[in-house]
Chain A
């Protein structure tokens, strides 16, 4: 390889690094900006708020502070900072019931159709199942379209959960890049804000528990997110 080729390779690598750096700062800056500016504004309203207004202000301030906390946690998890992974002894948890409870907590009009095994128990560290399921289901509802469905299968020592939603006819690159940090499909960009961290976070948690997360485009549009975890013994 000649000097000129080596110089071109180095320049290409530096350009790619610079692009990744700018994308990181851009997305993190913008996504943190909404809860932070909301926190600032709501806090400034505290000074002359009436008692009625305080009843709205106080929980709103807590919600936005928690959102900042969750964004920071997601950033650490999605970038494979292992110190942010959940700790504690794994505990058996029924993922079907947890998924249904998570969906119900969204308090949305759309239903989640649940099919397959009635129970799908895996052992996860405290908090991991809730976060994993919340990120996958939120991704489906935020960027997909009804009908939304969860299909569970238990066998061969594995628990498989498939979360399905209809939606845009995804290009192969969309599916491939969904795990790339801060990537958001073309259709998502004008529909809803978001880090694009949900699926990378869910996959990091699945992998921490000897599992994995796969994506499959649905024929005619939409996405299947497949969560694969060891069955609890």
Chain B
């Protein structure tokens, strides 16, 4: 499902957090077809926290394996300080540990893909749920 905003402005402001610049480029280009504007990019968890403190963000695409501060570490901090922001964990590796941890933290988990549509749908949903619960 793709939401359409008839005002012409993307309805969701998304931060993409991944230490691989080419993955960030792919998401920046791929998500624009799904009513999403990538308004910030981060290469580690510390940058995620800095950007979220500095500008309004509706949802975050969060890679779990990042240097300095990884996704597992930044999620509890985001949930504590920015509960209004939806989070989607976006990973190449989803072993038992990752699945269990994301379930425990209540974070939707998606495998990295060349198709941005399922991720876009998950971001819209995560944002709605976060706003409703904040």
Interface positions of A (Cβ within 8 A of B): 30-31, 33-34, 37-42, 44-45, 49, 53, 56-57, 60, 63-64, 189-193
- The minimal Cβ–Cβ distance linking B75 to chain A, given in whole angstroms, is 12
Residue B9 at the A interface, CB < 8 A?
no
B106 at the interface (CB under 8 A from A): no
> CB < 8 Å: which of B22, B70, B116 contacts A64?
B22
Size category, B interface: 20 to 34
Contact residue among B19, B21, B25, B114 (Cβ-Cβ distance under 8 Å from A192) = B19
Distance A37 CA – B65 CA, assembled complex (angstroms) = 17
Instruction: Summarize B's interface: helix, strand, loop or mixed.
Output: loop
Contact B67–A42 (Cβ < 8 Å): no
Q: Is the CB of A30 within 8 A of B72?
A: no
Docked Cα-Cα span, A57 to B21, in Å, equals 11
> Chain A contacts of B53 at CB under 8 A?
none
CB contact list, B11-27 vs A, under 8 A: 19-23, 25-26
Q: For residue B30, which residues in chain A have a CB less than 8 angstroms away from its CB?
A: 41, 45
Nearest Cβ on chain B to A68's Cβ, whole angstroms: 12
From known contacts A30-B93, A49-B29, A63-B22, infer whether A41 and B116 are also in contact, taking CB-CB under 8 Å: yes
B residues less than 8 Å from A64 (CB atoms): 22
Task: Say whether B92 faces chain A, with CB atoms less than 8 Å apart.
Answer: yes
Which residues does chain B contribute within 8 Å of A30, judged by CB atoms?
92-93
Residue of A nearest to B68 (CB): A191
Judge whether B93 and A60 touch: CB under 8 Å: no
Q: Is the CB of A42 within 8 A of B25?
A: yes
